Structure formats: structure tokens, C-alpha cells
Amino acid sequence: MAMTVLSAILGLFSPLVIVVGAGPLAMALYLALCQFLVARSAHSAGRTRAVWSSNFVAMIAPVPVAFLAIVVLEKPGVVLAQGVPMLLAGCTGCLAGALAARWAPGTPGAYGENVRAACRIALRVNGGLTILVAAALFFVIAPIVAKDTSPEAKPAHGLMVIAVFHLLLAGFSLWRTRSAVMPVASGVFGLVFGLFLLFLASVFAHPGPSVQPAVIALYACAASDLLTGCSATAVAIVGRGEPAAVGI
């Protein structure tokens, strides 16, 4: 419990790194170092994976909370310029620190087993987040865009097509959990979808207030795709060459 509280406190200080002007890279390095030290301490003490996961979640939780605050309080331009880089830097830093701690020399457990465990976790998280993005496109964003009657209104059918592609990617990711091997394609498609949703958010961000909730949701979906794409690509590259465990 003490390490979880410490992780949460360290995570709360992470947005301040950007506030003082240090930039997203400094925030990523700060969280990577903090997560590495906390995770190594948990491994050295022989704590379970559940404890390690709670420490990870506690440290990373303030980052999406700060991002949501920016999405709600600021304009779309500020979200794109400040919120998205902060979210990517924070989550990438935590992920890098955790992976470095798990695969560093002296970490309990075999390297290959850690790689397969990371692949299974990343595939399940990626599949779940991708399904959530598809649901948001189907049931939140597309209906709002379809009701827009302003002169700058855009068609909504393209959003439905993108949602279908997200469901296909989610199904592929969840199916691959059986082999516990992260395909690079999952990360590449996640990055492509994220960049495309960022482009759509900029296209739909016209002065009309009726579609502003859709624009905010598009930014959030784009950030989710970029995060899953970055994490999947990182895990796939690190785990290349590791054979899948039989019977998984």
C-alpha cells in the first residue's frame, strides 16, 4: 500500500513538469525513472504481479485525468498542442520504465516469460481500448456529426467505416492473445488510426458549437489509438524472436 501511495504522489507531480516549461520529453524521462525505481523495488521485495500492476496504474492515473481536464476546459487547438503530447509522453514514460524494470538484469523470472506476459497484457488492453473507440465512433461521434446542420457540416458515414476497421483490429488483437506474440501490425495500424482521427478532429473543429463534443471525443479517441499503437509497437519490437509458450 505504501508503494502504491508513493506511486500516486510521484504521478501527481508529472503534469507539473510540463507546467514549469520542461516539455513532454522531460515528463517522459521523469516518469520512466520513477516507474523503473518503484517497479524494481517491488520485484526486489518479491511482491506479486498484482502489486506491480497497482503501482503502475497509480502512477499513470494522474496523466489521463490531466488530459481530460484539458479536453473539457480548453479549446481543440490547445488539446492538440498540449494535451496529446502530455498524454503520449506520460504513458510512454511509465511503460518504458516498467518494461525496463521487468527485463533488467537480475529481475526474477525468465526474459522470455516476461516478454510473453507483456504481449498478452498489451494485446488485451489494446483490444479493449480499440473496442471502446469503435463504440464512441458508432454511438457518440457519428450521431452528433449527423445532426450538424451548419454550412461547414461534414458527412458522418466515414466515421462508421473507421469504426468497423477498429472492430476488425480489436478482433485481431484479441485473437492473437492465444499465441502471446505481439504483431508489429497491431502497433502500426493503431498509429495510423490515431493520426487519421487527429486529422478528422481538425477537420470537424469548425466554429459551430453543435459538434464540439464530437471534436473532443475524436481527440480522446485519437490519443487512445496513439497510445495503443506506441505500446504495441514497443512490445512487439522488444519481443521479436521470442517463441510463444506452448499451450497458451
Q: Which residue has the higher pLDDT, 119 or 45?
A: 119
Q: What is the pLDDT of residues 181-205, one digit of tens each?
A: 666 777 888 888 988 888 888 777 7
Give the domain ranges of the chain: 1-108, 112-248
Q: What is the pLDDT of residues 96-141, one digit of tens each?
A: 787 777 666 555 444 455 556 666 767 777 888 889 899 989 888 8
Return mean pLDDT, the chain. Answer: 75
Pick from 43-52, 78-87, 211-220: least confident: 43-52
Tell me what the mean pLDDT of segment 199-218 comes to: 77
Q: What is the pTM of this model?
A: 0.61
Portion of the chain with pLDDT greater than 90, in percent: 4
Cell, residue 151: 454550412
